[in-house]
Structure 1
Amino acid sequence: MDSCDPVDTPIVDRLKLNEDPLGIPVDQTHFRSMVNALMYLTASRPDLVFAVCMCARYHASPTKNLLEALKRVFWYLRGTINWGLWYLKNTTMALTAYTDADHAGCQDTQRSTSGSARFLGEKLVSWSSKKQKSTAISTTEAEYIAMSGCCHSLSKHIDIRHHFIHEQVKKCVVELYFVTTDYQLADIFTKALPRELFKFLLTRLGMKSVTPKTLKRLQEGEKE
């Protein structure tokens, strides 16, 4: 990978992976080791989460096409090796969560993908991208499942999810707001996005280039 050309997104725009039953098989151990290395990085690189989780779904029977998709994540890392999250000391304690779902995004099971991003003040502290455990029959149901997973990961049925959310709103524990597609920060965890939108959401998530020069500038700005 040292000589690879960098790319500006970890996954091709609108790409939907599948089991690729007619594809050329590749070494399973090698594929899994690559996935595991990237999984470790997702703890501090939210921009990798969707692409890595998509590839990880097929670790049991990887093919050449799936390996190429996985390699692209490394090509992306090649050009963004200095990127990371920046946390200021004066972060407020208000908790805000964004959640979204890509209805029937999985080509093999027709299950949806839930994505969520949780902020403490303006700083991202938690994120996830998960294939839903049941098949949602509509976008609305998929989003209910995603929203419930963001608030209560142990809910199992759509009616329970609905009443749980309704109860929390009624008790004023949470407040719900509609977010337009262009500003839905959880969208980056549910599907492969165009380059411009991907980069825009990255800045909204708080990711920055943290080269020594940039770190010095950010630290000086924090002191002002």
Structure 2
Amino acid sequence: MDDSSLNLCQRKYTREILKEAGFLNCKPVSTPLVPNQRLTKDGGTILEDISSYRRLVGRLLYLTTTRPDISFAVQQLSQFIDAPTTDHLAAAHRVLRYIKNAPGQGLFYPRNGEMQLNVFSDSDSASCLDSRKSVTGFCIFLDYALIWWKSKKQTTVSRSSSEAEYRALASTVCEVQWISSLLHDL
């Protein structure tokens, strides 16, 4: 970091998570989830000690404040917090191996830039095998600086991928209107 930028990261916190879970010396991976893997509530055997899974997912949720790259994976893990299985724990361990790859990764904010919003939105149509609901994801940049992001399961089941995309776009537009209003006030 210099006078012309700001870099936010949680390197120490990330290392604490890895140390507590026993993953400080693990082999890193390049993706937070196995590509095309779909977690279900019935996959695997229910864990005997669910408190450690809950604590791990809670800590990962806090880490998403500076690591938007794990938001989707943590959203997937958090929906099984009531009855986690060995498959869910294995997926959580994969996220740990992913953050081990770059524990100091975070958000970069340049000092000077244009005050222009750039917005990206997408949906993963019917990605939840248990409920058939789609997942909305979006990110909002102020020039090149990421200022807002979200990955969330949609509240209703869409009948088509077009409808899921429309719902994602509508949700994103609401967030953009709020941020535009906030920036205008500032």
TM-score where L is the length of structure 1? 0.66
How far does the alpha carbon of each residue in 1:29-82 deviate from its partner, in whole angstroms, 9 at most, with x for none? 111100000000101101110111101110100001110000111111111112
Task: Please list every run of 5 or more consecutive structure 2 residues that lacks an aligned counterpart in the other structure.
Answer: 1-22, 181-186
Q: For residue 95 of structure 1, what is the aligned residue in structure 2?
A: 117
Q: How does 1:43-192 map to 2 (within 5 A)?
A: 43-152=65-174
| Shift, 1:8, TM fit | 1.1
| Higher share of residues assigned strand | 2
Count of residues in correspondence between the two structures: 154
Residue 146 of structure 2 aligns to a residue whose secondary structure is strand
- Give 1:100 deviation, angstroms: 0.8
**Offset of residue 24 of structure 1:** 1.3
Q: Which amino acid aligns with 1:25?
A: I
Q: How far apart are 1:10 and its partner, in Å?
A: 0.8
**Superposition TM-score, scaled by structure 2 size:** 0.79
RMSD, aligned α-carbons:
1.5
How many angstroms apart in 2 are the aligned matches of 1:46 and 1:110?
24
1:162 corresponding residue in structure 2: none
State how far apart, in whole Å, the 1-side matches of 2:45 and 2:128 are: 21
Q: Does 1:34 align with 2:59?
A: no
The offset of 1:3, in angstroms, is 2.4
Deviant stretches of 4+, over 3 Å: none
State the percentage of identical aligned residues.
37
